[in-house]
Chain A
Amino acid sequence: MSRKDITSGNWAVAEAMRQINPDVVAAYPITPSTDIPMRFSEFVADGLVDTNLVTVESEHSAISACLAASVSGARVMTASSANGVALMHEIFPIAASYRAPIVFGLVNRSLGAPINIHCDHSDSMAERDSGWIHIYCEDGQEVYDTMIMGVRIAEHKDVLLPVFVCQDGFITSHCFEPVEFMEDDEVQAFIGERDPLFPLLDIDNPVAYGSLALTDYYFEIKRQQVEAMKHVERVYKEVAQEFAKKTGRDYPVVDTYRTDDADHIIVIMSSAAGAAKDTVDSLRERGHKVGCMRIRLFRPFPAAAIVDALKDARSIAVLDRAASLGAPAPLFTEIKGALYDAGIHIPTNTYVYGLGGRDFFPHNAEEAFMDLINNKMSPEERYLGLRE
């Protein structure tokens, strides 16, 4: 059984949280993720969840409270955006190192300055080495589904890592669209109970977290985190498969659209994939063999699946919604690295688009495709939708 409703990306996260009924939510609202704790606090006030909602005085405190609750054995969720995410930064690597499976609704928004409330990926991309799993969603349905799958992936005993469930600020978070919800008991049956490894509240088996580890053990602990990341893709696939069986909605680590026979492929993330796929259809009608690949799982980086989808292309355009000022854009760098490691050399263009929420239209995707089709290739960074 399921029900369909018109809802926003933010409300879809809040609804997933209501159904998950986490033990602790500590949050400090920030645009555009404000709706998530706001709506969830209504659920708390209405007695629809058993959650201990901790209203803190900053994002740093929010994630700190989440971490403490998580290592105590609680199931924990929160949400944030942009400079809120940046303020939390100090705690992110600690949460990953403590193997705290926090599920985090990250609503992508540009990092200031200038102050801007709209979407780009500069906030989450800045956290790509923090040791968290990163999953980027295209629409509200996927956000809802990923919050639920995220609990299982994060808490799996071979993983035990926190997860960012990313959606595009305003574009996805505030856009109302039809979303199919699972029943409450189906969600509960799917996620099960958390079985924490070293809960601080287990006073019969006391442990200490976060002891000093200098030249002797720090390196080994990081290596353990590397190992956990290596298990993510397998666990992700198991969970996604089980989810697909239940709901009919399938989420591979990379989402390929008409790439099988494509000569030219755009690689993109999140909501902009919609415009790119529309452009694939219109260019196909004009006889161009083009396709689109959307990266869903960004950390760990699913290099094999990416190479598999790209290996027969003649040229590639990687579209980044974040710049790495002074170096090639992050997704572009990773895609090139994956191809290089596979011994494949395909000319690849790099485009930055959509910074500060600048709209991304089908004609922007077409511009990138036409560069590929007309063999206008170079490693020089280009910009879509920018005024010169």
Chain B
Amino acid sequence: MSSLKGWKDLPLATTVPASTSEEVQTGQWRSMRPVWNEAECIHCLQCWVQCPDNSIKASPEGKMTGIEYFFCKGCGICAAVCPKKAIDMRPESEFIEQ
């Protein structure tokens, strides 16, 4: 709570500085976390194509490199489409201490 602003420090009129979705941490909504098993991955990039939130990271060489948890909202599409079952959906509660 301490990081929240008091009424005197808030901008007036319900306004917030307008920004793009790049600054909106949709990862806060996540209850299930996709965990990538690099050893099983064949870099087919099915997950990269299907992720609705641009959260699958890929290198210019076309290799899957990981998951961006700032944006990933845990929908599980990547895990569902992965032909190698290289993505495992795990409850966020498992990661609370991390």
Chain A interface (Cβ < 8 Å from any Cβ of B)? 71, 97-100, 160, 197-198, 206-211, 213, 216-217, 220-221, 223-224, 227
Cβ 8 A contact of A221, one of B4, B7, B18: B7
Segment of B9-17, B39-47, B55-63, B89-97 engaged in the interface with chain A? B9-17
CA distance in complex: A197, B4 (Å): 23
Contact B14 A211 (CB under 8 A): yes
14 extra interface residue pairs, beta carbon distance < 8 Å, beyond A209-B15, A223-B7: A97-B13, A98-B13, A99-B12, A99-B13, A100-B13, A206-B17, A207-B18, A209-B13, A210-B14, A211-B14, A217-B5, A220-B6, A221-B7, A224-B12
B5 touches A207 (CB 8 A): no
Establish whether residues A197 and B16, one from each chain, have CB atoms under 8 Å apart when the complex forms. Answer: no
Query: Once the chains are docked, how many angstroms separate the CA of A197 from the CA of B16?
Result: 13
Cβ contact within 8 Å between A208 and B15: yes
Asked if residues A207 and B17 are in contact (CB atoms below 8 Å), the reply is yes
Q: Name the one of A160, A217, A223, A227 contacting B13, with C-beta atoms under 8 angstroms.
A: A160
Asked if A197 contacts B17 (CB within 8 A), the reply is no
Whether B16 and A208, one on each chain, are in contact in the complex, defined by CB atoms closer than 8 angstroms, is yes
Q: How many B residues face the partner with a CB closer than 8 A? A: 13
Q: Is the CB of A213 within 8 A of B7?
A: no
- Asked, given contacts A216-B4, A227-B7, whether A221 binds B14 with beta carbons under 8 Å apart, the answer is yes
18 sampled A-B residue pairs with Cβ under 8 A: A97-B13, A99-B13, A160-B13, A198-B11, A198-B13, A207-B18, A208-B17, A208-B18, A209-B14, A210-B14, A220-B5, A220-B7, A221-B7, A221-B14, A223-B7, A224-B7, A224-B10, A224-B12
By beta carbon, the residue of chain B nearest A222 is B7
Point out which of B7, B12, B14, B15 has the most chain A C-beta atoms below 10 A from its C-beta: B14
Q: What's the Cα separation between A71 and B14 when bound, in Å?
A: 11
A interface SS class: loop
Q: 10 tightest A-B contacts by CB?
A: A206-B18, A99-B13, A220-B7, A223-B7, A207-B15, A208-B18, A198-B15, A224-B7, A210-B14, A98-B13
Q: Report the separation of the CA atoms of residues A198 and B6 in the bound assembly, to the nearest whole angstrom.
A: 20
Chain A residues within an 8 Å CB radius of B17: 206-208
Do A220 and B13 have beta carbons less than 8 Å apart?
no
Least Cβ–Cβ distance between A197 and chain B, in angstroms: 6
Residues of chain B within 8 A (CB-CB) of A198 are 11-13, 15
With a CB–CB cut-off of 8 A, which chain B residues contact A208? 15-18
Which residues of B, 1-31, contact A by the 8 Å Cβ criterion? 4-7, 10-18
A160 & B15 in contact (Cβ 8 Å cutoff)? no
